[in-house]
């Protein structure tokens, strides 16, 4: 016969150990945060390359990725019935993409 009277007390001990481990981790995080905020006098400087990359990123964010003139051209061609779909070209592009994805 197995003695199962200590099951609940073992669970309580496990829960107690887990909560003390979580407390220890939280205290360590708080100490790290205190250390990082205590050095307020630190400064960061960017290299010329980083500054240029930041400027390029801002320029890209300010430009549209949609060619409005091309969109208007295609809309006009569709409306007038002059837009032709090249099924072979589309199939070739789809196959190229599929081959690219399988590499």
pLDDT at position 20 is 59
Question: Does residue 85 sit within a domain?
Answer: yes
Question: Does residue 74 sit within a domain?
Answer: yes
Question: Does residue 44 sit within a domain?
Answer: no
- Rounded to an integer, what distance in angstroms lies between the CA atom of residue 103 and that of residue 98? 9
The first and second tokens of residue 26, run together, are 């939280």
Question: Does residue 2 sit within a domain?
Answer: no
Q: 4 in helix, strand or coil?
A: coil
- Rounded to an integer, what distance in angstroms lies between the CA atom of residue 23 and that of residue 15? 12
Number of domains the chain is built from: 1
Per residue in 4-23, pLDDT (tens digit) is 555 555 555 555 555 555 55
Q: Provide the residue range defining the domain that includes 100.
A: 67-103
Question: Does residue 14 sit within a domain?
Answer: no
Per residue in 44-73, pLDDT (tens digit) is 777 888 889 999 999 988 888 889 999 999
Question: Does residue 7 sit within a domain?
Answer: no
- Phi-psi sector, 51: left (phi>0), alpha (psi -120 to 50), beta: alpha
Question: Does residue 1 sit within a domain?
Answer: no
pLDDT tier, 38 (very low <50, low <70, confident <90, very high otherwise): low
Question: Does residue 51 sit within a domain?
Answer: no
CB contact at 8 A, 23 and 15: no
């Amino acid at each position: 016969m197995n003695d199962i009277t200590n099951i609940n007390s073992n669970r309580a001990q496990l829960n107690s150990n887990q909560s003390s481990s979580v407390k220890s981790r939280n205290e360590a995080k708080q100490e790290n945060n205190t250390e990082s905020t205590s050095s307020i006098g630190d400064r960061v400087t960017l290299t010329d390359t980083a500054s240029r990359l930041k400027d390029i990123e801002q320029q890209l964010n300010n430009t549209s990725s949609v060619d409005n003139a091309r969109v208007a051209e295609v809309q006009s061609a569709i409306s007038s019935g002059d837009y032709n779909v090249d099924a072979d070209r589309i199939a070739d592009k789809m196959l190229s993409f599929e081959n690219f994805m399988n590499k």
